[in-house]
Amino acid sequence: MLTIKKIVSYLLIFLVLVFTVIAVLGIWEVIDLDYILRKIMSSLIVIFAASAVVLFIFAILIREPDKRDE
């Protein structure tokens, strides 16, 4: 059974492979790397902001009270 660590590990490996392929294609000038990098960076910023909001929701609003809080 796949655990969260394994799923995240496979996802990170996949992302490294995708970024490597994009970098190699940019080095060989097959694709316009500046345009792709702008799109990747803006996408990562949006994902970071969304994950920060989700983390805030889980940490502050949905957390279960600790035994110390009772």
Per-residue pLDDT of the chain (70 residues), as tens digits, is 778 888 889 999 998 999 899 889 888 988 888 888 899 889 989 999 999 999 898 888 877 766 665 5
Contact 22, 31 (CB under 8 A): yes
In the chain, alpha helices (H): 4-27, 33-56
Q: Which residues contact 32 (CB under 8 A, 6 or more apart)?
A: 26
Instruction: Tell me the two tokens of residue 66.
Output: 């600790």
The structure's pTM equals 0.58
